[in-house]
Chain A
Amino acid sequence: MAQSFKTLLSEDKATTRTLLHEAIPITGTIVSGTYDDENIKYFSHGMYEAVYDYPYLSSSANHIFDITCGYASGSDFQDSSNEQDTKKINIYNQMAQVLVGYDVDGAIQQFDVDGNLGGGAKMTSCYFLNFARLLVKDEIKKNSFRFDFYANNDKTDAFDPDARDGKVTIGDYDAQTEYLTNSPAGEYGLLYTSSADPLSDGESVVGHVYYQAGIVVLTSSVILGGIPTTETDGTPLVHASDTGSAQDGFESLTINENANAIRYAYDNIDFNNTIELNSTIYFCRANNTEYNYSSNPTYLSDSEIIVKGNNPTANPVSYITTVGLYSPDNELLAVAKLSEPLKKTPSNELTLRVRLDY
């Protein structure tokens, strides 16, 4: 009986899991500069601002990350007279709920500097960088996150890129073996400078990177000097801190103005994302006796097989360009195309490996 379909047996199928990584560089010129802030989207609620890789009104713009900030209720910076006090508390609590979770009494836990929730210093006022799924994909690769920024800026001048100073690089160094798992949002690593030794001093940590959530939490003390920033209409602002920290900004600036301060301190972010590919591989085997004829209308001339050249004893020949995967009721579910025709004759056998990724 002639056949054009061949049943896939259990040994003709295999499943695999592969982790792919892409390098994601986000340069400072995108975050502030190139597009004259037309790629920064503000919202009327003022809870966060969104950064796009192109002016966001364009259909080709991609959302890349959000910036926001907040502090814990009752923390040093918190005061009911502060600008957007309630919203800053809301943001902190929201992020802490998701990333740190609750204690045994159901209270929201605060971000712990060294990740040991049992005690030690807490990060009670934080900046948050929430990366889009487009960049993070399934997760950020451990020990790949690096953030370059200017920590010690001139606090007396109006905003001027040239006034930025004190460039530092923080990263999740050694996180491939030193990451933490006590977050309800998955695994996270500690952010610190390469020269720091947080495992011994327990104090030099300046933030966390949550790998699966794609969120970076930075303590407000990463900003050591003044906070040159702008209002949402671009008006320059300089907020000098009496304490030499970001306290002044957290108290008197809006969330968006604090986010702008981070954008102007920002120099570069690099990380590798991770894509988990689950694949099914179908081994489509053509034995020597199979698939040597074709139903292609050009295969016949008045029912006579052209490639035989009127010689019945000549071997039939066919050419494979396409593999179709079918359901039991013969509906075409997937198609694979070869980059060039493969010759099939009774003297050869072929196994084509078709991989479907999910």
Chain B
Amino acid sequence: MAFLDNSGDIILDAVLTDAGRKRLARGDGTFKVTKFAFGDDEIDYGSYNTSHASGSAYYDLEILQTPILEAFTNNRSSLKSRLISLTNNNLLFLPALVLNENDLNEDTQRTEDGAGNPLSSGSFLVSVNANTNTDLGEIALIGAKGYIVGNQILKKGVSRYIRVDQGLNTTKLSAGKPLSTELTERQYMIQIDNRLGTINDFKNQGSPAFIDDDQIATYYITMGVGNYVSVLPPGELDGGTDPMNGPAGDYQVIPGPRGTSLQFGIGASDNLKSSTYLFETIGETGISAPGPSATFSTINTTVKVTGVTTGYTLDIPITFVRTST
């Protein structure tokens, strides 16, 4: 997309997204605009210079000169970061979503990047069938950190899982008090390529709210529904563990006031379980890992977690893996 001409009057370039056109074409009344949001995708707030020598009028000079791209029609490509409304104008901190990998049992950690194994690349590794579990077991990846059994739904600890914590990621505020109600997320949105995988709460597979034209499934996760969301306990960090919960409890990653924790498992889609087609078309095949005679195929993707209240997002790298045997 080109930049919009910003030499004259402010113009507004509006387009339907591909998802909007798809709903319009369906003619079933699902094309219904009921709400709006503002975004600031192009803005780099790092350019905001509060110490500009010419004064406050120049703080945002660079930001205001940022050229803006034309609208994308892909519904996944826009509104990556939304503006949010908060009643308190005196906030100095806002909560973030942080991938929690502090579990001492290594239940929530990614594979190690650069560990000498091509399958170990800093992402969560999701096996798609039992044969893959067996072959990964030969190279001691089964049971290793970052390895998620994707062909069945298992309890936390039996299989690895993903944990995202929400809170003020700062040491300037005490973690002894919980995050304010206004900033606490009670609903999350998880987006995953529906051709590749699903999410579960270690007991039941989730149901997507909708699947868009790009086959991206959107799951809404609400606190109190399923076993996904729990309130994080307050308490100062102590060497990566939370003394408030005991050594085997919730290992915290947020050093400041905490909100909620989102925890979920990843399952492989039936397509990946039963066919190599997607591995051959959008993945990489013939990957040799040290040890076993089998070779592996992988597909790299991301799972996007968004806080519905604050709009904060986190992209988590996922690798689906399948053995050749």
Q: Which residues of A contact B (CB under 8 A)?
A: 1-8, 13, 280, 282, 284, 286, 289-300, 302-313, 315-344, 346, 352-356
Contacts and interface: CB of A to CB of B under 8 A. Distances in A.
Given A296-B43, A335-B17, A341-B63, A2 B12 contact: no
B318 interface: no
Contacts of B14: 323, 334-337, 354-356
B268 to A, nearest CB: 25
Given A296-B43, A303-B168, A332 B17 contact: yes
Nearest to A288: B89
B95 A284 contact: no
Contact of A356 (B16, B51, B70, B75): B16
Contacts of B85: 2-4, 6, 289-293
Contacts of B28: none
Q: 9 tightest CB-CB pairs across the interface, nearest first? A: A309-B50, A333-B20, A295-B311, A322-B39, A336-B14, A296-B81, A339-B4, A4-B311, A290-B85
Nearest to A296: B81
B69 interface: yes
Contact of B40 (A321, A340, A352): A321
Given A3-B85, A4-B84, A320-B83, A299 B20 contact: no
Interface string B150-183: 0000000000000000001111100000000111
A300 B78 CA distance: 20
A304 B91 contact: no
Contacts of B33: 8, 13, 280, 282, 325-327, 333-334, 356
A40 B147 CA distance: 65
A304 B210 CA distance: 34
Contacts of B94: 293, 295, 299-300, 303, 305
B40 A318 contact: yes
Given A322-B39, A324-B36, A356-B14, A295 B79 contact: no
A338 B12 contact: yes
A289 B87 contact: yes
Contacts, number: 295
Contacts of A356: 14, 16, 33
12 contacts: A4-B82, A5-B37, A292-B85, A295-B94, A296-B45, A297-B81, A297-B313, A303-B93, A327-B31, A329-B210, A333-B20, A334-B15
Looking at A13, A307, A343, the one whose CB has the most chain B CB atoms below 10 A away is A307
Interface of B: 4-6, 10-17, 19-20, 23, 30-46, 48, 50-51, 59-60, 63-64, 66, 68-73, 75, 78-79, 81-87, 89-96, 168-172, 181-183, 189, 209-210, 212, 218, 256, 307-313
A335 B35 CA distance: 12
A177 B144 CA distance: 83
A339 B68 contact: yes
Contacts of A303: 93-96, 168-170, 256
A2 B83 contact: no
Nearest to A356: B14
Given A321-B41, A322-B38, A323-B38, A2 B30 contact: no
A355 B14 CA distance: 7
Given A4-B37, A295-B83, A330 B13 contact: no
A324 B39 CA distance: 7
A330 B309 CA distance: 12
Given A5-B35, A333-B31, 15 more contacts: A4-B310, A280-B33, A291-B38, A292-B85, A307-B50, A312-B90, A318-B83, A320-B38, A322-B78, A334-B17, A337-B70, A339-B12, A343-B64, A355-B12, A356-B16
B10 A339 contact: yes
A23 to B, nearest CB: 23
A339 B6 contact: yes
A1 B6 contact: no
